[in-house]
Amino acid sequence: MTATTPVDTSSSTAFREASRRRTFAVISHPDAGKSTLTEALALHAKVISEAGAVHGKAGRRGVVSDWMEMEQSRGISITSAALQFAYGDAVINLLDTPGHADFSEDTYRVLSAVDCAVMLLDAAKGLEPQTLKLFDVCRHRGIPVITFINKWDRPGRDALDLCEEIKQRIDLEPMPLTWPVGEAGRFRGVLDRADGSFIRYTRTAGGATAAPEERIEPARALDEEGEDWTHAVESAELIDISGGEFDVAKFFDATGTPVLFGSGVLNFGVRHLLDLIVALAPRPTPRIGVDGTSRSLDAPFSGFVFKVQTGMDKAHRDQVAFARVCSGVFERGMVVTNATTGKPFATKYAQQVFGRERTTLDVAYPGDVIGLINASALRVGDTLHAGKPAVRFPGLPSFAPEHFAVAYPADLSRAKQFRKGVDQLAQEGVVQVLSSERRGDGTPVFGAVGPMQFEVAVHRLLAEFGCQVKLDHLPYKMVRKLGDPKQRATTNLGNRGEYFTRADGTELVVFTDQTALNVTLRLNEGFLLEPLVAGTT
């Protein structure tokens, strides 16, 4: 589309284009193969020609979605990434999320921008702690979940045991659509439960290209696969007996999960997952504003910012705000209103994002994720809208920090760069930046959900601002919200704790341990403290 081509902003266009969108996140415990699967999906959609799924393997590049230097060197995802591509007539908006638990706050933000989630389970490990937390978030938000049991090419657990674990531990009814032929580590292919046929996979060199598939009739499958085929058929029948037949209503009300088996690194079973997403994943629906009213898909443009990222382009170090389009038709260049500040925001520099790669975007529809460049005026949780009526969507959660450290520049001559970098990290949500009257404005305190957030903050301050940072870790383990800010002046915490103010204005009180908290409450009758609950606004 050229700049002079008129954009059809009619209601019918907004509805039609929204119906083509599938916006979902890939979530899992660390090392379950999430980024590898993300790239395998892009490979099957033919938007890349060769996968670089194996980190650190000679001659192979890092996965498309892991663009940050630390991600490529460590082989883990530490920031979310957005990829948009076409698959048939559908438009896929795929959000890869950090696998490490220390970056769960970023994952929670991403889940606010999707309509569906693909949960990845390691065939050898099943449901792990981070997986359990993410299932809980999906359930709380009513997000339907598709389960992909990954790494079936390696030794692992029995398929029936894994399905039973899903049912017993998270109360989701597993509804397998494929069933593995061959035990974990001897992956031959899958039984397609829709028609009873056998889909045999053929390995490619290092899994770099899409795996060829051959569909085989049951009689021939029995002939060629023998006991493996018989065991697969009998196991699948047991699933039906136990109530595991597919029921689309259970998927949409988040009480059941379709289950697929495969191997992301070998590209086995990935096409089935992509086809299932297109066929089954929810289309965008109207979003509810803070006033309880629903914003129709054909209303004037609205969207909300769920992520801010700087440093994706080393040449310019510009800042990108990722926004989910909620209603209407977005046109590059339109001036929208930031509902948080009431100020206008020009969208001249809007881009479509594919990992680190970016191209100019002229138009977007409900369900799309757009990248707004030079977006220093935008914050995570901001709502953008065009025209009237105005709308503001619910904000995003700030988690209760569990680790604290005083940050200061090793070289005081770099204090200006230090302050600029800290402000940027706070805006992106890399760490929570806290201020303390005891320490002064020039000595911020970093709050983090996990200690690896400190490593990312220190790395980025050095790489992007040339500022080497020292951290003095603080002994605080308990954090509460101050119920009545006036009590700050009348309640002395002594050496038991400290008052902090978060960037959003929230007053926090931190304590060294539970005993310090109890003593403070005993000595100060009526001292009002409130819990901070992760995942709530």
Of the candidates 62, 60, 94, 95, the one whose C-alpha atom is nearest the C-alpha of residue 79 is: 95
| Binding site residue list for GTP | 96-100
> Half-sphere exposure (CA, 13 Å, Cβ side) for 519?
12
φ/ψ of 172, rounded to 5, equals -110, 135
Tokens of 444: 């911020």
Which residues are within 8 A (CB) of 421 and not within 5 positions of it... i.e. 6 or more apart? 460, 461, 464, 465, 467
| Binding site residue list | 96-100
Q: Taking a C-beta distance cutoff of 8 angstroms, is the pair 404, 510 a contact?
A: yes
CA dist 32 and 147 (Å) reads: 12
Hey, what amino acid is at 38?
A: T
Of the candidates 280, 274, 336, 351, the one whose C-alpha atom is nearest the C-alpha of residue 304 is: 336
Of the candidates 222, 178, 175, 227, the one whose C-alpha atom is nearest the C-alpha of residue 199 is: 178
Cα 351 off chain centre by: 20
Neighbours of 300 (CB within 10 A): 20
Of the candidates 21, 17, 87, the one whose C-alpha atom is nearest the C-alpha of residue 48 is: 87
Hey, what amino acid is at 18?
A: A
Cα 484 off chain centre by: 34
Of the candidates 205, 187, 189, the one whose C-alpha atom is nearest the C-alpha of residue 197 is: 189
Hey, which bits of 311-368 come out as E strands?
319-327, 330-331, 335-338, 343-346, 350-354, 357-360, 363-364
Counting beta carbons within 10 angstroms of the beta carbon of residue 264, is it exposed (0 to 12), middle (13 to 18) or buried (19 or more)?
buried
Using CA atoms, how far residue 240 sits from 165, 234, 246, in Å, is 16, 10, 9
Of the candidates 70, 67, 71, 72, the one whose C-alpha atom is nearest the C-alpha of residue 82 is: 67
